[in-house]
């Protein structure tokens, strides 16, 4: 049976851990508000950009030159680039594990293809560095403060590889933010770009030729998809960490309660034992 000193030390240790998890929860909650604001600001822009792209695509539907845009070229998928977005830190529940397992499943399902990984986030990088997978690039520190310029540089690199026919397709794998308690792992293909279809396209009068507008909008569309994926992942990470730290704080409180109850029982047993020894000694002295 552990001594009272050992139990008190364990209670003190759990209380210290509880303070840390509680502080981490509050920090993640504050960061989540800012990240959620970025998500809500990026979604309308991405949605409107897709709508405009669909209208322009409808205007050039019969233009063969526009259809030969290199970002629209469809080839048999033999060389694929997977852009995996994970977090830079742990303690976020299954946030990083789910995306890493999703990436492993992606690679295993395409065993006959040449798969290369563009890794955004320290956790994904550290995992696949030891797995013998072809890595085309590593990016650490982007999740803390997602910047459009950084993500656009990754997108431009992917577009250049696609134009040069070094790869046949580009996929994004990340956690999409749904709510504080829900994140959805999302796999989406960004190249070759799929033009949104308009059921009843609006008859616009374009100042510039629609084919030129399509050529200018497609790279911006791909860059926006990369940026939105990183922003969604950042918000989902903070939400997952806040939920995990809340659960850890509650578990610590339950453990403290159980240890306190156990400590009281040990102390009561020790007092009872001492009383019995005193009574027995007094009875023997008589």
246: number of Cβ within 10 Å: 18
Asked if residue 10 belongs to a domain, the reply is no
Distance CA 237, CA 146 (A): 13
Q: What is the pLDDT of residue 81?
A: 92
Q: What is the pLDDT of residue 196?
A: 62
| Ranges of the chain with pLDDT below 50 | 199
Total domains in the chain come to 1
Could you give the C-alpha distances from 176 to 39, 118, 172, 212, in angstroms and in order? 10, 18, 11, 32
Asked if residue 133 belongs to a domain, the reply is yes
Query: Residues 72-99: pLDDT tens digits?
Result: 778 888 889 999 999 888 888 888 999 9
Asked if residue 252 belongs to a domain, the reply is no
Q: What is the pLDDT of residue 199?
A: 47
- Look up the domain containing 116 and give its range: 24-243
| CATH number of the domain within which 131 lies | 3.40.1380.10
Could you give the C-alpha distances from 125 to 59, 83, 138, in angstroms and in order? 43, 11, 7
Query: Residues 16-38: pLDDT tens digits?
Result: 988 898 998 888 888 888 888 88
Asked if residue 256 belongs to a domain, the reply is no
Distance CA 286, CA 284 (A): 5
Q: What is the pLDDT of residue 66?
A: 53
Q: What is the pLDDT of residue 173?
A: 93
> What contacts 67, CB < 8 A, 6 or more positions away?
60
């Amino acid at each position: 049976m552990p001594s009272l000193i050992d139990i008190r030390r364990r209670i003190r240790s759990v209380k210290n851990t509880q303070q840390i998890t509680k502080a981490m929860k509050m920090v993640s909650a504050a960061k989540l508000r800012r990240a959620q604001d970025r998500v809500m600001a990026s979604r309308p822009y991405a949605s409107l950009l897709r709508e405009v792209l669909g209208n322009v695509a409808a205007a050039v539907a019969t233009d063969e030159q526009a259809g030969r845009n290199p970002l629209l070229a469809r080839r048999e998928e033999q060389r694929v680039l997977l852009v995996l977005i994970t977090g830079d830190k742990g303690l976020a529940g299954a946030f990083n594990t789910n995306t890493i397992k999703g990436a492993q499943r992606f690679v295993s399902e395409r065993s006959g293809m040449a798969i290369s990984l563009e890794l955004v986030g320290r956790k994904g990088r550290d995992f696949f560095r030891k797995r013998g997978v072809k890595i085309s690039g590593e990016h650490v520190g982007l999740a803390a403060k997602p910047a459009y310029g950084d993500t656009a540089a990754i997108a431009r690199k992917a577009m250049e590889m696609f134009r040069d026919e070094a790869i046949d397709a580009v996929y994004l794998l990340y956690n999409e933010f749904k709510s504080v308690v829900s994140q959805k792992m999302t796999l989406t293909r960004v190249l070759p770009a799929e033009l949104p279809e308009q059921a009843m396209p609006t008859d616009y009068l374009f100042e510039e030729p629609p084919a030129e507008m399509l050529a200018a909008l497609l790279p911006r569309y791909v860059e926006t998809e990369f940026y939105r994926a990183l922003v969604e992942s950042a918000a989902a990470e903070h939400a997952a960490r806040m939920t995990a730290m809340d659960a850890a704080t509650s578990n610590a409180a339950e453990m403290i309660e159980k240890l306190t109850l156990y400590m009281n029982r040990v102390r009561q047993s020790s007092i009872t034992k001492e009383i019995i020894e005193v009574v027995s000694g007094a009875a023997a002295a008589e």
